[in-house]
Structure 1
Amino acid sequence: MSGKGEGGDVLGASEEAIAKGSKSFAAAARLFAPQMRADAVMLYAWCRHCDDVVDGQELGHGRIAYAGTPAERLDTLYEETARAYRGAPSAHPAFAAFAEVVRRNDIPERYPLHLLEGFRMDVEGRRYETLDDTLTYCYHVAGVVGVMMSLIMGARDGVVLDRASDLGLGFQLTNISRDVIEDAGIGRIYLPAEFLAEAGVPEAEIAAPEHREKVARVAARLLDVAEPYYDQALVGMRALPFRAAAAVGAARGVYRAIGVEVRRRGPAAWDARVSTSKAQKIGFLMKGLAAALATRFEGAPPPRPSHLWTRPA
């Protein structure tokens, strides 16, 4: 793997993006074998870049004055993604990295396009009436990332890719619960409208202090929904190479712990951003190794529950 492209040292730029943009993923990725880690990091950098361009941010924070409207910028990302699949050179490190990764790992074009469709949901201000609506969004912005990461790990079986998507759903449901108030501040509501209505929370008043206790109950309900998807990730780990399974187990532990803390804090969950400490991340790396080892000795996996949301083909 060269790590070089039209944009220069694409791996170095990708490493910088993950170090600043997601300490949780960066920690778990340390368990990958070198080539697999490089590819995972470069794919992450592309995902992060596309998200930032659409939202007008840098590494998920602040405000950046990108040219054009969000819809126009998203259209450009579609065009650049198509160019990468045609083998056209790119001056941007994230797209140079992306082109290397999809070629080396034979990632079908439909998967990155699914991710961009998720960003389009944000651009269009999509409303999420039901839990299935929210889960559809979760797939497009996170579940499909799990699918692409699994392809990098060597998985090709559809059942294993389903389990990877499940883990992405768990991650995103946790993110939604953690970021409810922050998201509402920029006009984005991912909690199912039916959940809010049942709790007696007007959608326009999610961030109002007087509704904090009710919102906490809705967030806890969404975290309950996440649990079976986290469970399915454990089932899928057995089909992955040992180091990859350990990394997945570590990431699962880190993100699930964030949800546990959101639930524990209740109405105070949004007084300060919930995260895990460096010591906790190290602990989850060890637990990820143990979980991966355990999967080597388990019997046949149980069938996936039929009521769980199913990713599109």
Structure 2
Amino acid sequence: MAYDYALVHLKYTIPFAGLLTLILRPLLTKLDLYKTATLILVAFCATLPWDSYLIRHGVWSYPPDAIAGPRLFGVPAEELFFFVIQTYITSMLYILLNKPVLHAQFITNRDDSSSTSRRLRTLGQVFLVGCIAVGAALVKKGGEGTYLGLILVWACPFTLLTWSLSGYFIIKLPLACVATPIIVPTVYLWIVDELALGRGTWAIESGTKLGWRIWGSLELEEAVFFLVTNTLIVFGMVAFDRGLAVLYTFPERFPNAPQTPSPGFLFKALFTDPAKYDMVRVKGIREAVVTLRRKSRSFYLASSVFPGRLRIDLVLLYSFCRVADDLVDESRTESEALEWINKLSNYLDLAYGFEGQSPSSRRYVDAYVERNFPKATQSALELLPTNLLPKGPLYELLEGFKMDLSFAGTGSNGVQFPIKDETDLETYAHRVASTVGELCLWLVFHHCDTKLSEDKKSSLILAAQTMGHALQYVNIARDILVDAEMGRVYLPVNWLKAENLTPQDIVRNPKQPKVEYLRQRLLDRAFKEYDRSRDTMNILPSEVRGPLIVAVESYMEIGRVLREKTGVHSKSRKGRATVPRSRRLWVAWKNLSAA
């Protein structure tokens, strides 16, 4: 029986912690471990004197035949371990649920918050102050309300502090990201506690408790204890993430933010006056996230494992690319589309023309954007991190848009089809996809702590360009039906001729058997380019190798679905083959594990 409390850990807490660790292991970063270790240290130091007080004053007791014996300030070793394991479990669940979330979009201040948010924050403060007052009254009175009062006067001041600092942020976060990591461990530990109380592993002394039971042997005070402690842990993680979000979102205020910031850096960010936040930038990030979630699910999934400021800049880059593409694609006429391309080119001329000059010069660029682009697209242009990107690939991207427009031109047989052969196919893929891959790498080179030699950078850029071909070929193979509905065929005309087909035949009937043969031929070419460049990715810095591989593999998985006999039509969205969410998550987990 001396190991009864230890068996509680062996049966219940350690297996749960182990399961979460197994699931999260490929996703965990040094920053995640740093946050968790910090919270464990804070929880341990805050709980030890309080628990010691309970034991010394006869509120808590542990039968001698239920514990191994070693104590610290009267607290058994098994209880000390509980401080650690509970914080670890709740922190891991919080990290798992918050991985997909870009916290920068939820930064806010009083002016940006709705009246409902302001009321909720105030009500939360009033409620917590009330809990502190009730707790103090119960402790002063003594007797049966003592234990509940001690819980409230110990936990609620910490909760009030974190709520006052991060209340608006907590309210804006998705409810599941905050509520689930509180509720799930709480209910699980209620069950564990009910079993332990029933077995007599630990006990609340009569005379200090109200005697109300939730169910079975679970006392009201114990239920409240686990609820408030898990709330404290989650609010602590939220405060941590809010500090990191502020640190990474505002490079002008924090120009040299490290990937793993010191406590001093974090406190400086956490206590920065919210009135000084650049909310124009935050709103632009929000718009970029909405664009990606709607337009590029594969990249949005992969972006969740990129570190800090790099993730924000990658999202802003992809947002610009998507917005620019939509401006051209959604034009009603060829002349309107060309006008957008010219305006985008003029924007780049201005943005790079003023690069390196005083910040006030940027006003000319922003003024041009505001005069010439729709309101919904302006933030994507204004927040493009041109100071970190070479201009060449961006201009090449615009040339790719022009190739798309050439479908609208007329040749001797009506509509013109610009992809005549494999050379045209590669040129097009290079302009619309390889350019984006190269731009992503320049952001990686800037943000990563690991600095690469020029030779390695050149090898990676070449590999990114080749991989861009592969990804675009998969994109074309997936979208044959959708493109045909727009009057476009990106399959090389010489391939069609070899099958006694014309582009017009594909437009009229994109589901004919010969099209499937051509799709598979294009996919063969895609995987050949993929094989040429995949191994080079292994020289990427360790902090981004896994995320970039996930970004590539998530997209190549579409190609694998298209190669499967039953996969081509089994899952589709608007005529496009899609990868089920569970499969995309498996691909991400598997590749992060191997990276």
Please report how far the alpha carbon of residue 39 of structure 1 lies from its aligned counterpart in structure 2 after TM superposition: 0.6
Please report how far the alpha carbon of residue 68 of structure 1 lies from its aligned counterpart in structure 2 after TM superposition: 6.4
Contact 2:396 2:435 in 1 (8 A): yes
Q: Which has the higher helix share?
A: 2
Q: Which residue of 2 aligns with 1:183?
A: 483
- Three-state SS of the structure 1 residue aligned to 2:512 is helix
Contact 2:481 2:511 in 1 (8 A): no
Aligned counterparts of 1:198 and 1:211: Cα–Cα separation in 2: 18
Q: Which residue of 2 aligns with 1:247?
A: 547
Please report how far the alpha carbon of residue 228 of structure 1 lies from its aligned counterpart in structure 2 after TM superposition: 2.3
**CA deviation vs aligned residue, 1:105-136 (integer Å, no higher than 9, x gap):** 2x211110010110011112251111111011
Contact 1:5 1:96 in 2 (8 A): no
Counterpart residue identity of residue 32, structure 1: F
Are residues 1:38 and 2:312 paired? yes
Q: Which residue of 2 aligns with 1:222?
A: 522
Counterpart residue identity of residue 400, structure 2: G
Are residues 1:116 and 2:390 paired? no
Are residues 1:2 and 2:253 paired? no
Q: Which residue of 2 aligns with 1:169?
A: 469
Relative CO higher for 1 or 2, CA cutoff 8 Å, sep ≥ 6? 1
Q: Which has the larger radius of gyration?
A: 2
Distance verdict in 2 for CA 1:5–1:71, change over 3 Å: farther
Counterpart residue identity of residue 33, structure 1: P
Counterpart residue identity of residue 139, structure 1: H
Pairing of 1:267-306 with structure 2 (within 5 A):
269=569, 272-292=575-595
Distance verdict in 2 for CA 1:8–1:26, change over 3 Å: closer
Q: Which residue of 1 aligns with 2:256?
A: none
Counterpart residue identity of residue 473, structure 2: L
Q: Which residue of 2 aligns with 1:311?
A: none
- Three-state SS of the structure 2 residue aligned to 1:238 is helix
Contact 2:406 2:418 in 1 (8 A): no
Distance verdict in 2 for CA 1:6–1:117, change over 3 Å: farther
Please report how far the alpha carbon of residue 210 of structure 1 lies from its aligned counterpart in structure 2 after TM superposition: 8.4
Aligned counterparts of 2:428 and 2:500: Cα–Cα separation in 1: 23
Contact 1:10 1:93 in 2 (8 A): yes
Contact 2:482 2:576 in 1 (8 A): no
Aligned counterparts of 1:40 and 1:275: Cα–Cα separation in 2: 23
Aligned counterparts of 1:282 and 1:267: Cα–Cα separation in 2: 17
Q: Percent identity?
A: 26
Contact 1:178 1:273 in 2 (8 A): yes
Counterpart residue identity of residue 278, structure 1: R
Aligned counterparts of 2:527 and 2:556: Cα–Cα separation in 1: 8
TM-score, length basis structure 1: 0.82
Match of 1:134 among 412, 422, 425: 425
Distance verdict in 2 for CA 1:36–1:285, change over 3 Å: same
Distance verdict in 2 for CA 1:268–1:31, change over 3 Å: closer
Distance verdict in 2 for CA 1:94–1:43, change over 3 Å: same
Contact 2:489 2:507 in 1 (8 A): no
Counterpart residue identity of residue 443, structure 2: I
Counterpart residue identity of residue 70, structure 1: A
Q: Which residue of 2 aligns with 1:236?
A: 536
Aligned counterparts of 1:66 and 1:243: Cα–Cα separation in 2: 45
Q: How many residues align?
A: 281
CA RMSD of aligned residues (A): 2.5
**CA deviation vs aligned residue, 1:38-97 (integer Å, no higher than 9, x gap):** 0100000000010000011xxxxxxx7799611111111111122222242244100111
Contact 1:174 1:258 in 2 (8 A): yes
Q: Which residue of 2 aligns with 1:298?
A: none
Please report how far the alpha carbon of residue 19 of structure 1 lies from its aligned counterpart in structure 2 after TM superposition: 1.4
Counterpart residue identity of residue 592, structure 2: L
